[in-house]
Amino acid sequence: MAPRPARPAHPARKAALAVLLLTAGTACGGQDGAPTAEVAQQSAARDRIGTLSLRTAQGPRACTASVVQSPRHNLLVTAAHCVQSRRTGLLEGLVFTPGYRNGSTPYGTWPVQSVTVDPHWAAGDDPEYDVAFVTVGTVGGRQIEDAVGGNPLGTGQGFGLPVSVTGYPNVSDEPITCSVRTRSQSATQERFDCGGYTDGTSGSPWVTDQGSVVGVIGGYQEGGDTPDTSYSVTFDQRVTDLYRKATT
């Protein structure tokens, strides 16, 4: 699920996908078979989530990222280890492809321009600060948030939240989604248990029923050593401060 892009995967992450609770092609509909308004809304929200890859949408995969609301409408959130580490430096040439499905890029591919990580992460890959905000350039004169929308950042909301987590395993051209409830791993880390979150799903957003992002796969064990349990830094004042830095 969640090793750095440049290093070999954990052995446990080499296994095939376990439980795919919901793929991009799964949908519920009304009595006439047409998608309901709720399904349409969920689909639009999933299009704010996409792949981080090298150079092109079909290039080597790094991680998953998602669009968050920001004053300049150009900001993503992901795990810090997806984009920078003390040992490998900044991962150059990344692009973001929202709504990626089976080689299709319905909203284009957006070049990464800058990365904001906490100094604690930059100095020593501290798992307590494994969050990054990423700015992307325009495509066709439009900002990413204007193209696909963005989720608000949710901080200070505690544990035990029902969330939907969508991510892109490297072995699949479609994302997986799991609806779960967050649990406390420690005072500053949280977790959820659901199978299938293998390499490539680091950075996957944890989205509440209200649409707020309250976590990303990362943190403890860089997101987890097995596909069945995933972690995140608790979105608290640390993340609020980092967001302010990224947007100012």
Distance, CA of 227 to CA of 9 (rounded, Å): 12
DSSP 108: -
Residue 99 structure tokens: 């709504």
**pLDDT computed for residue 43 by the predictor:** 59
Instruction: Let me know: does 226 contact 12? Beta carbons within 8 Å.
Output: yes
Domains annotated on the chain, with CATH: 49-151+240-247 (2.40.10.10)
Q: Is the pLDDT of residue 232 over 90?
A: yes
Looking at this protein, which amino acid is placed at residue 157? Q
Length of the chain: 248
**pLDDT computed for residue 201 by the predictor:** 97
For the stretch 70-128, pLDDT in tens is 999 999 999 999 999 887 788 999 999 999 999 999 999 999 999 999 999 999 999 99
Distance, CA of 74 to CA of 63 (rounded, Å): 18
Q: Write down the pTM of the prediction.
A: 0.84
For the stretch 159-169, pLDDT in tens is 999 999 999 99
